[in-house]
Structure 1
Amino acid sequence: MTHAIVADPSGRPIRVGLDVGGTKIDAVAVSSSGDLLARLRRPTGWGEDAVVDSVVEAVTALAAEAGTDLSAIESVGIGIPGLVDAVTGRVLHAVNLGVASLDLADRAAARLGIPVRVENDVKAAALGAAALRGIEGSMAYLNLGTGVAAGIVVDGEIWRGSRGTAGEVGHLSVDPAGRLCGCGQRGCIETFCGGGALARAWDRPGSLPVRDILDAAEAGDEHALALRADLFHGAAAAVRALVLSADVERVIIGGGLTALGDRLEDGVRAALHAGAESSAFMRSLNLDDRIELLPAGSPAAAFGAALVGAATPTKEIVTHG
């Protein structure tokens, strides 16, 4: 196992964590004892300079929200999509932010006067979910959003694997004759349960296509019924892959699709249960009892970023798009 993130509890009293997404930044201030002191959301800018501006403005606004100033902040951690070098804090190919190459840690630290560390957003969320749920031992965080990705945490540390791809289940092909995935393969798990893939397959107007699919399925629409089955099948396949490959004790499901609540969780549990009916071995794993959804609005990603900020990275590269 590659040891990559170990939080340091010493230092100044406040740590800041930012979850930088394509449209907004979720920012939290956390005390040295792990208490959430303040939280706010701000829009994210487009392009490299605008992303740096957005980070600096979010940290400054958060300090004001917490009733303090920048001098009280020990560290800033940032979770961001793209290819992240956790040692240098450089971000590559964060396409949803208009970032090709950005030395985010150095540029933000220079303006804030505070140490800044950067991590891939899903891996930061995994760390935060483990901490917030009080999970010891091993767990996986399965992010079901526009795409599908996962991070693995063992004994409070991110497990990257030898090249940083541990937990990359979204691009595991489970149907070679299935839909074409953006990665070039067919039938990847992401093509079954990624929100973007489902929206394209649904191909009807609406602001929340996956919710529309579930509503239409409940009304008996045959196309929606098939896509709903795909959603549950794909998510169940991701859970099985994570448990069978890494033997994690828990799989915490997060990401935008968790807004579906019980409809998602119950469907995934049913798919796991159905998939184990013919296999005593699979039944022995009790997969349907090893999953849980993060509560709606959980600050796990930003909280995990705060832990990253207070950590010492020892592995050079993290790969995830």
Structure 2
Amino acid sequence: MSRDPNRRPGWSAGLDIGGTKVLGVLLDGGGEVRHTVRVPTRPGASGVVGTAEEVVRRLCDEAGLGVDDLVGVGAGVPGLVDPATGTLSHAVNLGIHERELELGGMLGARLGGVRVTVENDLNVAAVGAARVLGLSGDLAFLALGTGVAAGLLLGGELRRGRRGAAGEIGHLPYRPGGPACPCGQRGCLELYASGAALDVAWPPRNGRPAAADLFAAAAEGDPLAVEVRNGFADAVAAAVRLLVLTCDVEHVVLGGGVADVGEPLLRAVAERSHGQADDSPFLRSLAVPERLRLVPRDQPVAPIGAALAARARVAGGPRTVVV
């Protein structure tokens, strides 16, 4: 039962469901984060649904709300998502191998019938980044993590594509004839511009993530670190260029684990982007480096975007817009 049905209208919960943790936020009616909860992910269909339910209930308990006080719950997940039905498939990082897991329906039932919106995690990150950074206009959220992919927010709406593959630029060939990619192609961009690629090129040392260690060593003048950093930044700049040339987005927001490096990453990518345009008046006219943004480290953009997506879905139907 709701503890106060007239209290705090418009509140929604958002979840970022990953292979290691579920991070949840509770947004008030104005879109401000009021509470956060983080718990380890329990794998498999029942484990993921149970973990998600736990996070939502803990968020509501901290705010003194009942679950049915929420206008909706949003869940950002890796894998292929059908937002219209709330189904998820091929989310191997979550231990989910079912072709069509009814995640939205299962979680909604566990929460007493509250409406659950399920979206790809990068899509909700794009929505959250737009809100957190106060950006209008077309936007791409470029995630530099285990792989490389982008969430696209165009004309205020998410661009998912025919089969949910819009923004999968990590599998565009960057160096034809390069190493084999798990996708079956060779020389894919994510083999050069991802956190996993950095782990190979600059194995972690000193107990720090590879990206942090690499950029620190490069700043100290280590010649090998400078070479590896520049090669990585060049690949990321190529990803940014692809997003601008294909979608002409006004903003490209760098996110994912590698983005924790912060301003040094932004500067390196901007410098390489300038270099790629040296011989092209056309590229220079597009001002690609000026479109770069960095996601704030202390802002959980994916669950924020998931909560906003849930509220927008209730208010406006199946198309997710920034609210």
TM-score surpassing 0.5? Answer: yes
2:117 matches 1:129: no
Deviates further, 286-295 or 21-30: 21-30
Quote how far apart the aligned CAs of 1:223 are.
4.3
Q: Which has the higher contact order (CA 8 A, sep 6+)?
A: 1
- The CA distance in 1 between the partners of 2:161 and 2:65, in whole Å, is 39
Instruction: Note if contact 1:89-1:104 (Cα within 8 Å) is conserved in structure 2.
Output: yes
2:257 aligned residue:
256
CA contact (8 A) 1:136 1:155 kept: no
1:100 to 81, 90, 97: 97
> Where in structure 1 are there 5+ consecutive unaligned residues?
1-10, 316-321
1:116 maps to 116
**By how many angstroms is 1:92 displaced?**
1.3
Structure 2 partner of 1:8: none
How does 1:231-270 map onto structure 2 within 5 Å? 231-270=232-271
- Cα distance in 1 between the residues matched to 2:319 and 2:129: 21
Q: Which runs of 5+ in 2 are unaligned?
A: 1-7
Range with bigger deviation, 229-238 or 25-34? 25-34
Matched with 1:191 is 191
- Structure 1 match to 2:138: 138
Matched with 1:41 is 38
Per the alignment, residue 318 of structure 2 pairs with 313
Which one of 11, 15, 19 corresponds to residue 14 of structure 1? 11
Aligned residue for 2:187, secondary structure, equals coil
Size of the aligned set, in residue pairs, is 305
Report matched runs for 1:48-127 at 5 Å: 48-101=45-98, 102-113=101-112, 114-127=114-127
- Tell me how far apart the structure 2 counterparts of residues 39 and 203 of structure 1 sit (CA, whole Å): 33
Q: For 1:171-201, what per-residue CA distance to the aligned partner results, in whole angstroms no more than 9, with x for missing partners?
A: 1112103232221222221111101122123
CA distance 1:220–1:178, change in 2 (3 Å): farther
CA distance in structure 2 between the aligned counterparts of 1:94 and 1:263, rounded to whole angstroms? 32
The one of 19, 24, 30 aligned to 2:21: 24
Counterpart AA for 1:274? G
What SS does structure 2 have at the residue aligned with 1:213?
helix
For residues 253-279 of structure 1, the C-alpha deviation after alignment (integer angstroms, 9 at most, x for no partner) is 111111101111110010011111111
1:171 maps to amino acid: H
Whole-Å separation in 2 of the counterparts to 1:203 and 1:257 = 14
Is the CA contact (8 Å cut-off) linking 1:193 and 1:231 kept in structure 2? yes
Residue identity matched to 1:103 = E
* Aligned-partner SS, 2:296: coil
Q: What TM-score results when the alignment is normalised by the length of structure 2?
A: 0.89
**3-state SS, counterpart of residue 166 of structure 1:** coil
1:133-177 deviations in Å (ceiling 9; x for gaps): 232221111111111110111232101233332222111112103
Contact 2:254-2:293 at 8 Å conserved across structures: yes
1:173-252 equivalences under 5 Å are 173-203=173-203, 206-252=207-253
CA RMSD of superposed structures (Å)? 1.9
How far residue 74 of structure 1 moved from its aligned partner, in angstroms, is 1.4
Matches within 5 A, 1:132-171: 132-171=132-171
TM-score by length of 1: 0.89
